A and B are shown apart, each in its own frame.
Chain A
Amino acid sequence: EAEVAQSPRYKITEKSQAVAFWCDPISGHATLYWYRQILGQGPELLVQFQDESVVDDSQLPKDRFSAERLKGVDSTLKIQPAELGDSAMYLCASEGIELRGEQFFGPGTRLTVL
């Protein structure tokens, strides 16, 4: 069964350091999402890609966060510099054309900022 892959699964860093997360969506899925999930809350959208283009990044803190999907396949989310409040689970999801709206999530990257 096709799955969304994410790495690393866990990341511990000190504040002011740079961190990066990687996502490989289900093959053929043109739409890719990055969500942030704070413990005890639902996921919140950070950025949405359609192929290599950003569709929605209105909730992305652009002073420190950046995201790219250069070839329209895998994607990288970066935080520089990391702050204590960035500690959260970072989830990647992908969506195919066949069943619009159905998003499939990866296992996430648990970030802890010390």
Chain B
Amino acid sequence: EVQLLESGGALVQPGGSLRLSCAASGFTFSNYAMSWVRQAPGKGLDWVSAIRAIGGDTYFADSVKGRFTISRDNSKNTLYLQMNGLRVEDTAVYYCAKGGYSGFDSHFDYWGRGTLVTVSS
């Protein structure tokens, strides 16, 4: 059974940093692209970042480019999101999502339950 378990969400002040983790199990982690998708309170889904399975190419939404970095440790089956320069508008539930095949597009076949990041003074 595929499981994705996010952690690391917290209350942080504007300008602060946070690192989210996503522990994966139930599939060959190294074979799939992984993404972070967020959802602000009462709002829709907002794709944040992705990292390919092979080559480690990374992608970012314009809203987080230059502030967030994504990485993965295939030996630990874990995905990370390092968030720096946090803004109030980054407040959201952050979901980890598994790519649906070996490539990468908007196909996410499994999602975690999410971790809440609150940016406030």
Q: Do A and B bind each other?
A: no
A residues contacting B by CB (< 8 A) are: none
